Amino acid sequence: MNKSNFLHYTITNFIFSIIVLNIFHFNTFAVEPDEFLIDKKQESRARDISKKIRCLVCQNQSIDDSEAQLAKDLRSIIRVKISEGKKDEEIYKFLTDRYGDFILLNPPIKMSTYALWFLPFIFSLMGIMTIFRHNYKAKKKIG
Amino acid sequence: MSKKIFLLLVFAFFFVIIIFFYLLIIERDPSNLPSQLIEKEVPIFNSKLLFNDEKFISTNEFKNNITLVNFFATWCAPCREEHKYIIELSKDSSIKIIGINYKDNPNKAIVWLKELKNPYSKVITDPKGKIAIDWGVYGIPETFLISSKGIIKYKHVGPINKIVYRKFKKKISNLKKK
């Protein structure tokens, strides 16, 4: 096998495995079949909410990905609430009333989290400004 | 002028670094999970009692005494370990201890309490863990301290050991003074 053939072979193999992994990836979630709601719309809502809820006893995992018992209990409570006709906001409120904002994987934007949300933007802006200033000065020197 | 801005930037950068390292150095227990329920009223829940299948209605329960609520199960090894401290706490007759038997087999729980002694004034069953979710429980054992007005004052996640026992004792005596 010459060099270019080998490279071609490796690349095709690589692309093929990515495609295969992506197809079968969908079969590997933690939610068990007996948990599913019959109504497909409701079920997809339940999955969406579950993806945004932290599994409290795991390391940075959503309850949708986790097989922990508490995650399973919370998933089933979310599904019960949905079939009772509760809105998404009401379900989030139910959970944060009990477990706090910590249960949300995305912290909400409010007074106490402004620094968390906006400092990165401020720092990158400051960085960009510094670079521009530096370039401007360097150009001036040359010119 | 630009030098001033540069100095300010450097200062801000080091300020952030210092805060970062400060947070690393100070003693923080990562298992110290935030609790939403502190200073809030006890959740309302109804269930059955373990020993005689009677109904339990939470609204009748937390108004007159300082109460401890302890989530436990027979399958939980740390619960067995902390049990002696709960018995010790139950010797104070002015406080009431309510046990919530979490996801357990009632018969096993009765045998378990006979073997280790029963410090609880009432034992409530929570077969599906729904009451635990209302109390924001992460995993058992967990123990809550409730004032005589029905407000949750303190929560401990994990087994009670000597240090935690003393903490509870202190907090109970502080509550009594009020």
Domain residue ranges in chain A: 3-108, 114-143
* Number of helices and strands in chain A (H, E): 5, 0
Average pLDDT over residues B63-71: 92
> In this structure, are residues A64 and A30 in contact, taking their beta carbons and an 8 Å threshold?
yes
ipTM over 0.95: no
CB contact under 8 A, A130 and B12: no
* Tokens (6 digits) for A83: 């079939």
What is the reported pTM? 0.75
* Res. A41: pLDDT tops 60: yes
The span from the CA of A45 to the CA of A51, in Å, is 10
Smallest Cα distance from B9 to chain A, Å: 8
Which of chain B's residues have a Cβ under 8 Å away from the Cβ of A58?
A: none
Q: What share of chain A is helix, strand, coil (3-state, %, to 5)?
A: 70, 5, 25
The span from the CA of B172 to the CA of B154, in Å, is 10
Q: How confident is the model at residue B165 (pLDDT cuts 50, 70, 90)?
A: very high
- Closest-CA residue to B89 (of B70, B103, B71, B114): B70
Element (H, E) at B4: helix B2-25
List phi, psi (to 5°) of B66.
-70, 130
> In this structure, are residues B73 and B103 in contact, taking their beta carbons and an 8 Å threshold?
yes
Cβ-Cβ contacts under 8 Å between A and B: the total is 38
CB contact under 8 A, B34 and A100: yes
* Res. B131: pLDDT tops 90: yes
Nearest to B129 among A73, A96, A130 (CB): A73
Q: What is the per-residue pLDDT for A23?
A: 66
* Tokens (6 digits) for A51: 């993806």
Exposure b/e, B62-91, CB count within 10 A at least 16 = b: beebbbbbbbbbbebeebbebbebbeebbe
State whether residue B19 sits within 8 Å of chain A by CB: no
The span from the CA of A112 to the CA of A93, in Å, is 18
Q: What is the per-residue pLDDT for B1?
A: 58
- Closest-CA residue to B137 (of B28, B29, B27, B45): B45
First to last CA, chain B: 59
What CATH code would you report for A3-108? Answer: 1.10.8.640
Percent of chain B at pLDDT above 90?
62
**A59 CB burial (10 A radius; 0-12, 13-18, 19+):** exposed
Average pLDDT over residues A73-83: 92
CB contact under 8 A, B36 and A70: no
The span from the CA of B1 to the CA of A64, in Å, is 53
What is the DSSP code (8-state) at residue B102? E
Smallest Cα distance from B112 to chain A, Å: 23
Q: How confident is the model at residue A67 (pLDDT cuts 50, 70, 90)?
A: confident
- Which residues lie across from B69 on neighbouring strands? B98, B144
State whether residue B94 sits within 8 Å of chain A by CB: no
Nearest to A133 among B2, B134, B135 (CB): B2
Report the residue of chain A nearest B128, measured CA to CA: A73
For chain A positions 58-77, those within 8 Å of chain B (CB to CB) are 69-70, 73-74, 77
